[in-house]
Structure 1
Amino acid sequence: MLRQKDFTIILIRLLLGYIFLSAGLCKLTHGHFGQIIGPPLLEDTLAKYGLGLFARIVAITQVVCGTLLLSQRFSTIGAVMLLPMNLSILAVTISMHWVGTPYVNGFFIVLNIALLLYDWHKLKVLINPVLSAEARPTALDAYNQNVFNIAGTTFAVAALVASRFSVAFTNVFAIAAFAAMGYSVIQVKAITKMQALVVALVILNMIIITLASLLGTIAQKLVLFNTLLIFALFAASFIKLPKRKILPVAQ
């Protein structure tokens, strides 16, 4: 059975991975890809000041970081890459006096740090090479080596390439990436049925938001309902029911 701590890390990777992958694709498609954070027209805005290439690199980096986190397999690299980006975004939002945004990004940084702390036994060798003998994989590393997260990563790269010429293909490849990466978690034997359902609902939300422009107002209702259900199921997974005592049968 997958420990609750390990499952929570999976959900954090999925959340941050989707947020930044979708934000990057939205920027690269000039606002035509479904996402939940902005600004979607960053490249168009900065191009006025000769910084269009910079904005594009930011967007591509967001896609790369998000893809690595979503894959689970390469999530440690993604978490390391994402921290300086998150800190830079926080500095920009504070400098621009954006109301509320610094708190949201601060929350993302807390989640980012949680991922790095989880992988500390793999990362500490970067700080002190003497500790290389103590470096060891995490509990999740045993479940992350499968063909589905490789397929999901490949689809995400295809979505990145397609973002320069076709929104439709970007959506198709991105949805394929979400499905493959979600299934890479669901198919793990150690995961419980409730945990698998939570992951499936998370992936469903990603797909709904991606197709929000086609689904219309019903998309918001579906995402809200699924999100409430995810929180309820996640909270319920912490509750351990007492084991029933088997009473001896009277002779």
Structure 2
Amino acid sequence: MLQGPYRWFVYAELLLAAVTFVALLFVVAPYGGRHGRTGWGPTVPARVGWVVMEAPAALLFVAFYLLGSHRFEPVPLLFLALWLVHYVYRAFVYPFLMRSGSRMPVLVMLLAIGFNTLNAWVNARWVSEYGTYPVAWLADPRFWLGLLLFAGGLTLNARSDRTLRRLRAGGGGYRVPYGGGFRYVSSPNYLGEIVEWTGWAVATWSLAGASFALYTIANLAPRAVANHRWYRETFPEYPRDRRALLPFVL
């Protein structure tokens, strides 16, 4: 049961998911690279933008987590570790592996900081304060299903990122990626992240986790469709049976 003012932060994240999904149906977010464009104000190097906007998701999560009365219990500590596995990679490893010299609008970076702050609060406070996770939760099928989804999604996300980096290693602009998840969809990195945070929602079995999973879908599904459209418009030889996000479906 959500308690006191905390529940309004969870509801705010759910509302933000709906607003984000609708907005991205009409506007392609200019994170840089293939969708970068002018008209969004000052920009920063994409590598800098990624570090600055993703770092709060790791650092603030730890700070908020440590406020919780369950912070030293085994299951919440395991959830903390899972969160940091993703966000240490996303904030402090992935940006320095990027080969793109693109730039990111400061506005986009600031909006992401705002979301990451809210999301860190919602999920850290749940797992270390408002949620109840006895050691017996480690034997619950929901925990293990969520953990498998999280690990599988993280693996797909990281391997797809690596495939894209290798394509850009030789220079010469964008090319069509092949292999791995790219056999089936144009954005397996996005699919991996959606599966990952769906796993988090299942493992924590919480509205807090579900709000993040729904926001991830709302944010990444329209972007996957935009990527798919861009590939098809840019490369006449692009595989016609490849889908945007869900193999054989979408």
Q: Establish whether TM, by shorter chain, passes 0.5.
A: no
Greater relative contact order (CA < 8 Å, ≥ 6 in sequence): 2
Q: Smaller-chain TM-score range?
A: 0.3 to 0.5
Q: Which has the larger radius of gyration?
A: 1
- TM-score scaled to structure 2, two decimals? 0.38
